[in-house]
Amino acid sequence: MHFATTTLLTVVLKSLGYIQTSHLPKSDIIKFVLFANCSIVGMNVSLMWNSVGFYQIAKLTMIPVSCLLEVVLDNVRYSRDTKLSIILVLAGVAVCTVTDVSVNTKGFIAAVIAVCSTALQQYYVHFLQRKYSIGSFNLLGHTAPAQAASLLLVGPFMDYWLTNKRVDAYDYGLTSTLFIILSCTIAVGTNLSQFICIGRFTAVSFQVLGHMKTILVLFMGFIFFGKEGLNLHVVLGMAIAIAGMIWYGNASSKPGGKERRSFSLPTSKTQDYAAVPVSSESVEKV
């Protein structure tokens, strides 16, 4: 329903002329939707089968996996300060969020699928926008309908298989319906902001920024729902994470902080074609 609402918005924007017609191969759309759907299902199943502590650890591993994808696929090189700032962010978030850690085999498999598919989905957001020179709205216009259709078809069966409960058997009232509408409205902004942020920066930057969301969730929870659970190590973890995020923004924006390596042919291998003798016969043929 989130992606169906997002699709509706893209249709409206396209009719108003804010989204231009663009082309995206079906093979790329299918791969993206596969990664994105596995990410959504994997993250929810990981939270269902694992403890909150292990779920947080799994989320923390997405930054190293995203870095690895950029290094292997895009030849990105990180400076020492950028690497250290990422480590500081991970350490800070781990200190203030990771509590009890318990894991089982099926929960571990779900976490691995969730982390890998999420990293690939976010990498593809940046890759497709760069490769086909399309904006965030255009990419959403291509992918949101496919995600909405596939999830609406597969989702209820997957949900019943995992929980033995049918979605349509829920007693929907006015309050629940209003909150579903509110959730769908917020999801449009969430999906769009993800595509804009990753398209403008990278998946790694989005992950670092995403951990700021975790800090804000904790902070607002303490403000609105009492200070239970707020202690020195949580405050220390928040401070370390925020310091790491500021350091990452400063380090990655500097020259050499995060750059793609370009490979050129060695000068000794190149040939000076001006020095090659050309016969008169070949000149006449040309």
Domain residue extents for the chain: 1-166+173-259
Q: Which of 47-56, 64-73, 247-256, 267-276 has the lowest mean pLDDT?
A: 267-276
In which element (H, E) is residue 150 found? Answer: helix 136-163
Confidence bin at 19 (pLDDT 50/70/90): confident
CA distance 115 to 108: 11
CA distance 249 to 208: 9
Q: Could you tell me the pLDDT band of residue 264, with boundaries at 50, 70 and 90? A: very low
- Residue 262 pLDDT grade (very low, low, confident, very high; cuts 50, 70, 90): low
CB contact burial 245-254 (16+ within 10 A = b; e otherwise): bebbeebbee
Helix spans in 16-104 (H): 26-49, 52-60, 62-74, 80-97
Q: Is 241 exposed, middle or buried (0-12, 13-18, 19+ CB in 10 A)?
A: buried
Residue 75, pLDDT > 50, answer: yes
Answer yes or no: is pLDDT of 266 > 80: no
The CA-atom distances, in angstroms, between 12 and each of 16, 155, 282 are: 6, 26, 61
Report DSSP state, residue 190: H
pTM score of the predicted model: 0.78
